[in-house]
């Protein structure tokens, strides 16, 4: 009964390429496996565990809300969800929230709202512009917006036309808007699984201006970048844009499923009763945890504190790039969302990931040669030092073995 790997392979469909670790417990920035081995978690469940594991305030909220109620129907008012919606609006745009259970469902809700808007506007606007390599989810509607061939495949999908745009190409955006008269533009301010690719301030502001001029809804997918991960509450706030619609998920539920859209007030009443819905979202427990996440980040100052630690991380990474200039082609991202773009071949980078794991460091690899670091916002500077020396050891080995390029 103790061979978790065989049992996993025999009982769970193999849609994920697993790393060979079975988790027993989480503590702060660490995960501990069934054999008692500790790992520094730079994966955070793919940008979810903003406060690390077993944060005392999260545990306390779980207990308190667990003693109240875990689920009610959406026909009754859900106090934690109302409070959280108010806070999310206060941190972003004047408008209203629709809750979902996941990021992909947030994208589905956005697609429905965009459709409602184009019908209501009577402008015969149809379709959505998205960026090449973007990721917006895997449900049958969202998958069409996800411009990654391995994900997209030939699954049936929505008939909403989708137009693919090169990041940073405002000329192409202008031409696409003029030619196709789309209803909306949806972008991640930093493409996550597309390779930790931040969009420039100039591009975001230029894109917003083109959208405003042409009546195209300007939407930001902040599912991975949001809730403090990049140094501001939402990443778009490091520019002067103001989205019409913001998608959020991942970190907001403190580790439990929760997502949604924040819709600017002029579009917020497009959904009428019956237009959209779900049994579970917003789970009162996820929403209560969301309130706690925001309390820790904003009222207890964790977001500010994490800026100091991420500054330290970026200083160390800049040095790393200088020391290993043949191996590190670039360091991209912001705050606690980092991509180390390596010159090595994909199998070599996969092997680096495996070796780091053996040393007790969990890192992700995206776009085959980019090491993705998504530390908890609560990571300490001492833990960053440990990570950097482990990466250095690995890079020294690659140099010695001549595996840089
Ligand atoms: C930017 C972005 N949008 C949407 C999604 C989909 O979210 P979920 O996996 O919760 O459906 C993700 C997930 O990685 C994401 O990073």
Q: Is 354 inside any structural domain?
A: yes
Residue 153 is predicted with a pLDDT of: 86
pLDDT digits (tens, 9 = 90+) for 167-213: 999 999 999 999 999 999 999 999 999 999 999 999 999 999 999 99
Give the mutation target among 45, 135, 138, 278 for probing the ligand 1 site: most ligand atoms within 8 A of CB: 135
What residue spans of 164-301 are helical by DSSP H?
170-180, 201-214, 284-294
Beta strands in 43-194 (DSSP E): 95-100, 128-131, 162-165, 184-187, 190-191
Please check whether residues 101 and 161 belong to one and the same domain. Answer: yes
Does 342 fall in a domain? yes
Least Cα distance to 30 among 388, 312, 361, 372 occurs for 361
Q: Helix 170-180 and helix 201-214: axis angle, to 10°?
A: 20
Q: Is residue 40 part of a domain?
A: yes
Same domain, 290 and 349: no
**Strand pairing class (217-221; 128-131):** unpaired
Confidence grade of residue 78 (pLDDT, cut at 50, 70, 90): very high
The answer to whether residues 16 and 68 belong to one domain is no
- Please report the pLDDT score of residue 149 as a whole number: 85
CA distances from 54 to 22, 183, 285 (A): 18, 43, 15
Please say if the pLDDT value at position 150 is more than 90: no
Q: Does some domain include residue 19?
A: yes
What's the mean pLDDT in 31-56?
97
**3-state SS class at 181:** coil
Domain total in the chain: 2
Q: How confident is the model at residue 405 (pLDDT cuts 50, 70, 90)?
A: low
Q: Once rounded to an integer, what is the mean pLDDT over residues 387-405? A: 90
Which of these three, 299, 334, 364, is where a domain ends?
299
Cα 42–47–52 angle (5° rounding)?
A: 60
Domain boundary among 299, 320, 350: 299
142 CA distance to ligand 1 middle (Å): 10
> What CATH number corresponds to the domain at position 62?
3.40.640.10
User: Do 355 and 246 fall within a single domain?
Assistant: no
Q: Which of 15, 47, 33 has the alpha carbon at shortest distance from 364?
A: 47
Whether 123 has a pLDDT exceeding 80, the answer reads no
Residue 2: per-residue pLDDT: 66
What average pLDDT does the segment 134-154 reach?
A: 94
If asked whether residues 271 and 197 sit together in one domain, one would say yes
Both tokens assigned to 262 = 């924040």
Residue range(s) defining the domain that contains residue 23: 4-55+301-400
My answer on whether 344 and 370 are in the same domain is yes
Is the separation of the CB atoms in 364 and 191 below 8 Å?
no
Same domain, 18 and 109: no
Q: What is the pLDDT of residues 225-284, one digit of tens each?
A: 999 999 999 999 999 999 999 999 999 999 999 999 999 999 999 999 999 999 999 999
- Residues 47, 127: one domain? no
Enzyme catalytic residues: 135, 221, 250
Mutate to test the pocket of ligand 1, among 139, 219, 223, 364 (most ligand atoms within 8 A of CB): 223
Which is the closest atom of ligand 1 to the Cα of 224?
Answer: 16
**Cα-Cα-Cα-Cα dihedral sign, residues 131, 135, 137, 140:** positive
Query: How does the average pLDDT of the chain come out, rounded?
Result: 96
Residues 222 and 319 in one domain: no
Answer yes or no: is 285 within a domain.
Answer: yes
Residue 405 included in any domain: no
What pLDDT sits at residue 138?
97
Mean pLDDT to the nearest integer, 110-139: 93
Say how far apart CA 357 and CA 39 lie, in whole Å.
7
CA angle 15-53-87, nearest 5°?
A: 95
- Same domain for 326 and 289, yes or no, is no
348 and 221 in a common domain: no
Same domain? For 367 and 334 the reply is yes
* pLDDT at residue number 228: 98
What stretches of 201-327 adopt beta strand conformation (E)? 217-221, 245-248, 259-264
Distances (CA, A) of 256 to 24, 55, 387: 17, 13, 27
Judge whether residue 1 has pLDDT over 60. Answer: no
User: Which atom of ligand 1 approaches the CA of 102 most closely?
Assistant: 10
Out of 299, 325, 359, a domain closes at 299
Radius of gyration of the chain (CA): 21
């Amino acid at each position: 009964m103790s061979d978790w790997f065989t049992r996993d392979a025999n009982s769970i469909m193999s849609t994920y390429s697993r790393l060979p670790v079975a988790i027993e417990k989480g503590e702060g920035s660490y995960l501990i496996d069934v054999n008692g081995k500790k790992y520094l978690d730079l994966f955070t469940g793919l940008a979810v565990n903003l406060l690390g594991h077993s944060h005392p305030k999260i545990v306390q909220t779980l207990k308190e809300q667990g003693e109240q109620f875990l689920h009610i129907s959406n026909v009754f008012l859900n106090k934690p969800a109302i409070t959280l919606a108010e806070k999310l609006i206060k941190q972003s745009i004047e408008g209203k929230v629709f809750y979902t259970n996941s990021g992909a469902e947030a994208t589905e809700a956005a697609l429905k709202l965009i459709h409602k808007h184009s019908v209501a506007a009577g402008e015969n606007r149809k379709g959505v512009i998205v960026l090449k390599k973007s990721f917006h989810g895997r449900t049958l509607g969202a998958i069409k917006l996800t411009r990654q061939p391995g994900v997209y495949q030939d699954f049936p999908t929505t008939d909403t036309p989708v137009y693919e745009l090169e990041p940073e190409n405002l000329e192409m955006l202008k031409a696409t808007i003029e030619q196709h008269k789309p209803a909306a533009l949806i972008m991640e301010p930093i493409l996550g699984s597309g390779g930790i690719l931040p969009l420039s301030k100039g591009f975001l502001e230029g894109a917003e201006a083109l959208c405003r001029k042409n009546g195209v809804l300007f939407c930001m997918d902040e599912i991975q970048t949001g809730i403090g991960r990049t140094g501001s509450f939402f990443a778009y706030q490091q520019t002067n844009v103001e989205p019409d619609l913001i998608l959020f998920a991942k970190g907001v539920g403190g580790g439990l499923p929760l997502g949604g859209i924040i819709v600017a007030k002029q579009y917020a009443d497009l959904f009428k009763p019956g237009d959209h819905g779900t049994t579970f979202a917003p789970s009162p427990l996820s929403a209560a945890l969301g309130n706690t996440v925001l309390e820790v980040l904003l009222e207890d100052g964790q977001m500010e504190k994490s800026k100091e630690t991420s500054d330290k991380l970026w200083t160390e990474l800049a040095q790393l790039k200088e020391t290993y200039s043949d191996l590190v082609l670039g360091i991209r991202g912001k705050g606690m969302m980092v991509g180390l773009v390596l010159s090595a071949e994909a199998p070599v980078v996969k092997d680096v990931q495996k070796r780091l794991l053996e040393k007790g460091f969990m890192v992700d690899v995206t776009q085959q040669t980019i090491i993705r670091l998504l530390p908890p916002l609560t990571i300490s500077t001492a833990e960053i030092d440990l990570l950097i020396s482990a990466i250095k050891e690995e890079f020294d080995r690659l140099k010695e073995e001549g595996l840089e390029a």
